[in-house]
Structure 1
Amino acid sequence: MVQYTFIFIVLLVIISLFARKSLWIPNSNNKIGESVCLFLLCSMSAFKASTVGNDTHEYLRLFEMGKDALMAGTRYEIGYLYFSQIIWKISHNPQVLFIVYSLIFYFSLGRYLWRYSSMPWLSILIFFSYTLFGFSMSALRQSLAIAILFIGFDFALKKKYILFFVSIIGASLFHSSAIFFALCPLILRLKPSKRTVSLFIGSTLVKLLLFGNLLDIIFSYLPYYGHYQEGAYFEGGVRLASVLQLLLAILFLYIGYISYKKLPIDKASTEKDFLGHLVVIQMVVVSLSILCLKVNILDRIVLYYSTFVLLLIPNAISLMPYDRRKTWGRLALIATFLYTLVILILRPEWNSVFPYKFCWDEDFLTIY
Structure 2
Amino acid sequence: MTVYFIFFLIMSLIWLALFPYMEITYNSVSKLQKQVFCFIVAILLILLAGVRKTNMGADTTVYLQALKYYQSLPRNTILSAPLVYPYDFEPGFFLLTKIAALYSFSPTFFLFVIAALIYIPLCIFISHYSENPYISILVYFAFGFFGYSLGIFRQLIAISFSLMAFHFIHKKQMLPYIVSILFASLFHTSALILLPFYFLARLNLEKKHLFIILAIEAVLLVLGRPLALFIINSLPLYAKYIGGKYDTSDTSYTMLMIYNLILIISFFIKDKEKNLQYARNALLMAIIILCLSYSITILGRAVLYYSIFLILLIPIIIDRIIVNNKLYFYGICILSLIYFFYYITKGSIIDPYRFFF
TM-score by length of 2: 0.84
Do the aligned partners of 1:87 and 1:96 also contact (CA within 8 Å) in 2? Answer: no
Q: CA deviation at 1:295?
A: 4.2
> Is the Cα contact below 8 Å between 1:118 and 1:315 reproduced in 2?
yes
The residue type equivalent to 1:72 in the other structure is V
Q: Distance in 2 between matches of 1:225 and 1:327?
A: 49
CA contact (8 A) 2:93 2:154 kept: yes
2:279 aligned partner: 278
Once the two structures are aligned, what percentage of the paired residues are identical?
25
Kept in 2, the 8 Å contact 1:3–1:354? The answer is no
CA contact (8 A) 1:168 1:181 kept: yes
Q: Work out whether 1:175 is the aligned partner of 2:188.
A: yes
**In structure 2, what is the equivalent of residue 12 of structure 1?**
12
Counterpart residue number, 2:100: 87
1:366 aligned residue: none
How has the CA–CA distance of structure 1 residues 304 and 235 changed in structure 2, closer, same or farther, with 3 Å as cutoff? Answer: closer
- What is the deviation of 1:161? 0.9
**Which residue of 1 is the match for residue 266 of structure 2?**
256
Q: Give, in whole Å, the separation in 1 of the partners of 2:341 and 2:242.
A: 24
Aligned to 1:100: 113
Q: Deviations over 1:133-169 (max 9, x none)?
A: 1111111100111121111111122121111111121
2:84 aligns to what?
Answer: 72
Structure 1 residue 100, shift from structure 2 partner: 1.6
Q: Which has the higher helix share?
A: 1
Q: 1:364 corresponds to which residue? A: none
Aligned with residue 133 of structure 1, among 106, 124, 146:
146
The 2-side partners of 1:296 and 1:232 are apart by 5
Q: Give the length in aligned residue pairs.
A: 342
After superposition, residues 220-299 of structure 1 pair within 5 angstroms as 220=233, 221-224=235-238, 226-227=240-241, 229-231=243-245, 234-236=248-250, 239-240=251-252, 243-259=253-269, 261=270, 263=271, 272-299=273-300
Q: Partners of 1:154 and 1:252 in 2: how far apart?
A: 24
| Residue 353 of structure 2: aligned partner | 356
- Unaligned ranges ≥5, structure 2: 71-77
Higher relative contact order (CA 8 A, sep 6+): 1
Letter in 2 for 1:246: L
Structure 1 residues 65-103: Cα deviation after superposition (integer angstroms, max 9, x where no partner): 222763426432122101111222223423222222222
- Tell me the distance in 1 between the aligned counterparts of 2:335 and 2:296: 27
The 8 Å contact of residues 14 and 33 in structure 1, kept in 2 or not, is answered as yes
Q: CA RMSD in A?
A: 2.7
CA–CA separation in structure 2 for the residues paired with 1:246 and 1:164: 29
| Higher deviation after alignment, 177-186 or 1-10 | 1-10
Match of 2:227 among 214, 225, 229: 214
User: Deviation of residue 49 (structure 1)?
Assistant: 1.6
Any conservation in 2 of the 1:109–1:147 contact (CA below 8 Å)?
yes
**In 1, Cα distance between the equivalents of 2:117 and 2:146?**
15
Structure 1 residues 316 and 306: alpha-carbon distance in aligned structure 2, compared to 1, 3 A threshold: same
1:194–1:30 Cα change, 3 Å: closer
Q: Which amino acid aligns with 2:197?
A: C
Q: Does the aligned pair in 2 maintain the 1:62–1:69 contact within 8 Å?
A: no
Q: TM-score, normalising length from structure 1?
A: 0.82
- Note the residue ranges of structure 1 that are not aligned, 5 or more in a row: 264-268, 362-368
Q: Distance in 1 between matches of 2:68 and 2:123?
A: 30
1:205 CA displacement:
4.0
Tell me, in whole angstroms, the C-alpha distance in 2 between the residues paired with 1:343 and 1:26.
33
Where 2:82 maps in the other structure, the secondary structure is helix
Write the distance in 2 (CA, Å) between the matches of 1:331 and 1:296. 33
Secondary structure of the corresponding residue to residue 70 of structure 1: coil
Q: How far, CA to CA, are the matches of 2:6 and 2:46 in structure 1?
A: 17
CA shift in 2, pair 1:183/1:45, >3 Å: same
